[in-house]
Chain A
Amino acid sequence: MREFQCDLAIIGSGPAGLACAKSAAEHGVKKIVILERNPQSGGILNQCIHNGFGLSVYKEELTGPEYAYRALQLIQRNFPFHKDPDMVEDGISLFTETMVTYISKVVTDIAKDHQIQALSPKGVLIIHAQKVFLAMGCRERTRFNILTPGTRPAGIFTAGAIQKIINQEGLMPAKEAVIIGSGDIGLIMARRLTLEGAKVKLVSEILPYSSGLTRNIVQCLQDYNIPLRYNTALVDIIGKKRVEAVVVAPVDENRRPDLSRAKTITCDTVVFSVGLTPETDLTKTLGLVIDPATNGYQVDETLQTSLPGFYSGGNVVHVHDLADLVTMESERAGAGLAIPRVPRSAPVYLTHNENLRYIVPQLLRYQSFGPLVLSMRSTRVLPKATLTIISEGQVILKQKREHVTPGEMLVVTLPEVLAQKIGNDLTVNLDEETL
């Protein structure tokens, strides 16, 4: 067993973990340890071989693996960097093939000691950390999350799983596929399967709109004439050893399928792209507050969770549509955990109207410090909308937005001069503009 002390332990080395490490180091945090369960840093970026990453952060279009490489390079070039070291020194230490199994908090009069237990090729690792940044990302929802009936033959995958099998393991498990759900990974895998020789017979979406980016509908489906049907549900999977067919049916406004209009589509593969959910299982025993709207950690403006000393960012807080947004959020967390701030007399819990599903951060704990960034998602499509930020009856900010969809996160930055106007409450309203 090995035992180390550090100032900051980061769990996960995807875009969130790497960005937080860099930002925390820039803000003077000395001993930083990153724990990564895979042999390589970068997280899910490594299997996202498509481009479209990095336009905001790196000002150029990168693929996922290139994005991961750049993020690591920024750390290696600017700070002392140690990979799988025998002892933890100043700088950033990355432990790979190291899987965190348990986190405990020990708060005594003398010290706050957060203990992280991990398994590595060299045995058990115990990390004593002053602060912890949770960057475990998210996990895919499966057929069971959407209560899909039918048999359980081979040939049923989540989009991320088939992405890993094709892009990293070099295997091609499909000839004829149907994709359930039109999230980004589903759209990207529709193209990938087509390019590698499979026939994608249908992308079926139960909602009247796609949760994926519009550009992906254009360049992944329309480019290859792959049909996309909205308001369509999967009602059966047929097959004993291997998938033989799926049955889909149109749904009414209550999402109830009309079985009299059901259609059978023969295929050997079903790919589920039915959403992502933050991967918070690791901290269950710590009892961190989870926001039911995001399924991720509730955080304040410094990205601190409900447990002092525990910070979080990226997809484990709320599922983002762009890696750049994960990077920017986690950079704010790196600063947030390093810079001491003056607390408010009482926290301000953000509220919003029915057109918004959630806002991150969920609360403000500190007095105004620099610009305040709010990330939010709408509940429905609004072709033209007005976003209003109100505190104590005063309108602080009013913005017009076009093409608001639940599939694209809204980010609003309140400059410091406006953030200072926030009093004892804060409401964000998104209202439809009628012509």
Chain B
Amino acid sequence: MKQELICIICPRGCHLSVEVKDKTVTSVKGNACPRGEAYAKKELLAPARTLTTTMKVEGGQTPLVSVKSQGEIPKELMICAVQYLDTLTLKAPVLVGQVLVENLLDTGIAVVATAENLEQNLEPVA
């Protein structure tokens, strides 16, 4: 069976043509780089995405800090993960790259800050 996919690894958006036989990918065409082939295999068998969202911060310069999953999580967990993270409140200061949740919904993937949110009365670095 032949399936058409658009690679979302980078903004180039290669149009992939994928051959699938017995639940395995037998050929991938149209990819400009090897990441396209890996994407096609994964997308058809176990789709996953990096989650980016925000978390509440108490005592910070702003009410939130932006965060991301430090790897991909199963696509179907995206909404659950945001709902869960929205229930948590962090304490300032939060630094870039700081691990905020070690194991997001038992995926084994951590959630890290993508921005800093220092304590309210301190001058930010920049």
Residues of A within 8 A of B (CB): 39-41, 46, 49-52, 55, 61-66, 69, 72, 76, 81, 83, 94, 96, 166-170, 194-197, 213-215, 217-219, 223, 321-322, 403, 408
Contact = CB atoms under 8 A, between A and B. Distances in A.
Given A66-B96, A196-B86, A214-B6, 6 more contacts: A49-B67, A52-B11, A63-B52, A167-B54, A170-B56, A196-B82
A39 B114 CA distance: 18
| Residue of A39, A41, A169, A170 with most chain B CB atoms under a 10 A cut-off | A170
Contacts of A169: 63-64
Contacts of B78: 195, 223
B79 interface: yes
Given A215-B8, A218-B8, A69 B124 contact: no
Nearest to A194: B79
B114 A49 contact: yes
Nearest to B13: A214
23 contacts: A39-B61, A40-B126, A41-B126, A49-B54, A49-B66, A49-B67, A49-B114, A51-B52, A51-B68, A63-B52, A63-B66, A65-B96, A65-B114, A81-B126, A83-B126, A167-B66, A195-B82, A215-B10, A217-B6, A218-B8, A223-B78, A322-B11, A403-B13
A215 B114 contact: no
Interface of B: 6-8, 10-11, 13, 15, 49-50, 52-54, 56, 61-64, 66-68, 75, 78-79, 82-83, 86, 96, 114-116, 124-126
Nearest to B68: A63
A403 B4 CA distance: 15
Given A46-B115, A65-B115, A219 B8 contact: yes
Contacts of B10: 52, 55, 61, 215
A100 to B, nearest CB: 19
Give the dominant DSSP class at A's interface: mixed
B11 to A, nearest CB: 5
Contacts of B126: 40-41, 72, 76, 81, 83, 94, 96
A49 B49 contact: no
Contact of A170 (B52, B64, B124): B64
B52 A49 contact: yes
Contacts of A49: 52-54, 66-68, 114
Given A40-B124, A46-B115, A194-B79, A55 B8 contact: no
B15 A403 contact: yes
B42 to A, nearest CB: 13
Contacts of B63: 169-170
B109 to A, nearest CB: 14
A218 B66 contact: no
A215 B11 contact: yes
Contacts of A61: 10, 50
B64 A218 contact: no
Given A83-B126, A196-B82, A322-B11, A219 B49 contact: yes
A215 B64 contact: no
B11 A55 contact: yes
A166 B78 CA distance: 17
B114 A66 contact: yes
B33 to A, nearest CB: 11
A432 to B, nearest CB: 17
A214 B78 CA distance: 20
A359 to B, nearest CB: 21
A378 to B, nearest CB: 15
Given A83-B126, A170-B56, A63 B114 contact: yes
A333 B11 CA distance: 24
Contact of B124 (A39, A63, A219, A322): A39
B88 to A, nearest CB: 13
Contacts of A52: 10-11
A377 to B, nearest CB: 15
| Residue of A94, A194, A223, A408 with most chain B CB atoms under a 10 A cut-off | A223
A96 B8 CA distance: 36
